[in-house]
Amino acid sequence: MSRLIITGKRELHGEIPVQGAKNGVLPLMASSLLSHGVTVIDNCPDLTDVRAALDILRHLGCRAALEKGAVTVDASDVTCCEIPDALMRRMRSSVMFLGPLLARCGRAVITAPGGCELGPRPIDLHLAAMAALGADVREEDGSLVLTAGRLTGAPIRLALPSVGATENAMLAAAGAEGVTVITGAAREPEIRDLGALLTKMGVRVHGAGTSTVTVEGGVKAPFARHRALPDRIAAATYLCCAAAAGGELTLTNTDPDDLRPVLAALDRMGAALKTTGDTVTAAVHGPLRSPGTVVTGPHPGFPTDAQPLLMAAALRAEGTTAFVENIFENRFRHVPALRAMGADIAVEGRGALVRGGVPLHGARVEATDLRGGAALVAAALAAEGVTDLGGLAHIDRGYENLAGLLHSVGAGIERIDGKEPERWKTTEGRKTPAAREPAST
Ligand code: EPZ
């Protein structure tokens, strides 16, 4: 059982290199199934979700490895078209293998994907896209069985701009015969990046990253190599940590253009921001002010994944900040833990009202999802005393070395892996975090 022990009220100073994008790398890895040769993806973070994707690829018969930040997949032999439930449940992106598997094998058998519990996360749009390309979709003994002699390009109209459904439709269309036009597509940067790799694989793709994507099927190149884009949510995480803790933090290997809505919110809060082509520096000295109302929406709107993080930063801002969550029904699961740290937050339906400037204190809390867990880290950096954070399996799905990187810029953060040391136990049970020795930094 791993935990983070975080001593708050220490400013962050220095530089953090931003990892490659989790949500970019996973569909890139799925695209490797379309090739009868080798695909290499550089700038790949070592995450449990990436390891789950490697396990799926190996189960399907590919040779797949992550070494020194590069994933290499040899998909010359795909020997299986069924992903067992235990692999499907390890992450949401397991569903991303549906389109390429169906295109490659003419059959795909899956179950419901796992992932963060953020409210209902149906896959109806993914299945409708496969049906539009000619697949027969049935449920048999709790599994979804999709078959298609050969997928054929067709118009696909997405009822809402789902990121995953857009990617899955592009992947299936890349392996289909003929031209597919996806309208109502999501415009997230990760989709632009998927289009870039598919293009390197010889597929003709136009408009990836806009609301109309055209894909002319046919993977021609036996080898493709691509560098995954920087993780905009990991970048937002470190910026919100800097806002919460104060100090001056520079992020390298990042793309300020993809961070615009987050940078705009931090600017309204009074952070001094400087950007170059691939760096962002945030200086936060003195009090922050509320950014006003923050409304999440599909890209280029404010990203839902950054909402819990900005909420943590807003806790130390003067004034009231309103959050409106428009993407997922249940994305305020971090609020009870923030309240346990002293935060004043009222939640009603899809809205949350944060009264900032209330002193925070350390507490023993648990992460309940990936970004909510990272938000607890940011809040702990602003809190007086020691926070003891568990539920790290959620955080490990999306962040490579979060604690080590924050520690390197001055945060009081230490990761305890394995059994809890005896010295932390009292005869009555566990000591409260506040009573513990401060974590060494
Ligand atoms: C991706 O999830 C990301 N995950 C999420 O990041 C992110 O929050 C989300 O996009 C929105 O930006 C990955 O890329 C792996 P959606 P995805 O399909 O693709 C509804 C993180 O923390 N919907 O765009 O699953 C759905 O219920 C994760 O890194 C349907 O109704 O999101 C939601 O309300 C969490 N039917 C909305 O669309 C469908 O078939 C947007 O979901 C599909 C989606």
* Domain limit, last residue, from 227, 259, 286: 227
Give the structural domain span for 43: 22-227
User: Residue 25 pLDDT more than 60?
Assistant: yes
**65 and 147 co-located in one domain:** yes
* Domain limit, last residue, from 206, 227, 248: 227
What is the average per-residue pLDDT within 397-417? 97
- 116 belongs to a structural domain: yes
Dihedral of the CA atoms 144, 149, 150, 156 (nearest 10)?
Answer: -40
Catalytic annotation on 241?
Answer: no
What is the average per-residue pLDDT within 204-223? 96
pTM for the whole structure: 0.94
- Of residues 329 and 440, the one with the higher pLDDT is 329
**352 and 413 co-located in one domain:** yes
pLDDT of res. 114: 85
User: Residue 193 pLDDT more than 60?
Assistant: yes
User: Residue 46 pLDDT more than 60?
Assistant: yes
- 441 belongs to a structural domain: no
- 440 belongs to a structural domain: no
What is the average per-residue pLDDT within 151-155? 98
**48 and 191 co-located in one domain:** yes
What is the average per-residue pLDDT within 350-358? 97
What is the average per-residue pLDDT within 142-146? 93
* Domain limit, last residue, from 227, 253, 286: 227
**84 and 98 co-located in one domain:** yes
Among 93, 163, 397, say which to mutate for ligand 1: greatest number of ligand atoms within 8 Å of CB: 163
pLDDT tens-digit map of 241-264: 999 999 999 999 999 999 999 999
**288 and 383 co-located in one domain:** yes
| 116 in contact with ligand 1, CB cutoff 6 A | yes
Q: Which residue has the CA at smallest separation from atom 14 of ligand 1?
A: 23
Beta strands in 143-271 (DSSP E): 143-147, 155-157, 179-183, 204-206, 212-216, 223-227, 247-252
What is the average per-residue pLDDT within 348-366? 97
- 438 belongs to a structural domain: no
pLDDT of res. 121: 80
Q: Which residue has the CA at smallest separation from atom 5 of ligand 1?
A: 305
pLDDT of res. 251: 98
3-state secondary structure of 360: coil
Question: Which atom, in ligand 1's list, is nearest to the CA of 167?
Answer: 19
- 190 belongs to a structural domain: yes
pLDDT tens-digit map of 298-331: 999 999 999 999 999 999 999 999 999 999 988 9
| 65 in contact with ligand 1, CB cutoff 6 A | no
| 24 in contact with ligand 1, CB cutoff 6 A | no
**15 and 27 co-located in one domain:** no
**51 and 71 co-located in one domain:** yes
Instruction: Tell me how many domains the chain contains.
Output: 2
CA-based nearest residue to 312, from 64, 1, 6, 3: 6
Average pLDDT over the chain reads 93
User: Residue 395 pLDDT more than 50?
Assistant: yes
CB 116 within 8 A of CB 369: yes
| 30 in contact with ligand 1, CB cutoff 6 A | no
Question: Which atom, in ligand 1's list, is nearest to the CA of 127?
Answer: 40
**15 and 26 co-located in one domain:** no
pLDDT tens-digit map of 264-277: 999 999 999 999 99
- 439 belongs to a structural domain: no
**174 and 285 co-located in one domain:** no
Ligand 1 centroid from CA 93, angstroms? 10
**172 and 321 co-located in one domain:** no
Question: Which atom, in ligand 1's list, is nearest to the CA of 369?
Answer: 22
pLDDT of res. 192: 98
**260 and 375 co-located in one domain:** yes
pLDDT of res. 142: 87
- 63 belongs to a structural domain: yes
- 12 belongs to a structural domain: yes
User: pLDDT confidence of 117, banded at 50, 70, 90?
Assistant: confident
Ligand 1 centroid from CA 163, angstroms? 6
Which of 62, 116, 240, 241 is flagged as catalytic?
116
Percent of the chain, pLDDT > 70?
95
Residue 147: how many other CB atoms lie within 10 Å: 16
User: At residue 293, what is the residue type?
Assistant: T
Question: Which atom, in ligand 1's list, is nearest to the CA of 115?
Answer: 35
Alpha carbons 392 and 51: distance in angstroms, whole number: 16
CATH number of the domain residue 306 falls in = 3.65.10.10
User: Residue 208 pLDDT more than 70?
Assistant: yes
**55 and 122 co-located in one domain:** yes
Among 96, 327, 402, say which to mutate for ligand 1: greatest number of ligand atoms within 8 Å of CB: 327
User: Residue 434 pLDDT more than 50?
Assistant: no
User: pLDDT confidence of 419, banded at 50, 70, 90?
Assistant: low
pLDDT tens-digit map of 165-192: 999 999 999 999 999 999 999 999 999 9
Ligand 1 centroid from CA 164, angstroms? 6
pLDDT tens-digit map of 70-95: 999 999 999 999 999 999 999 999 99
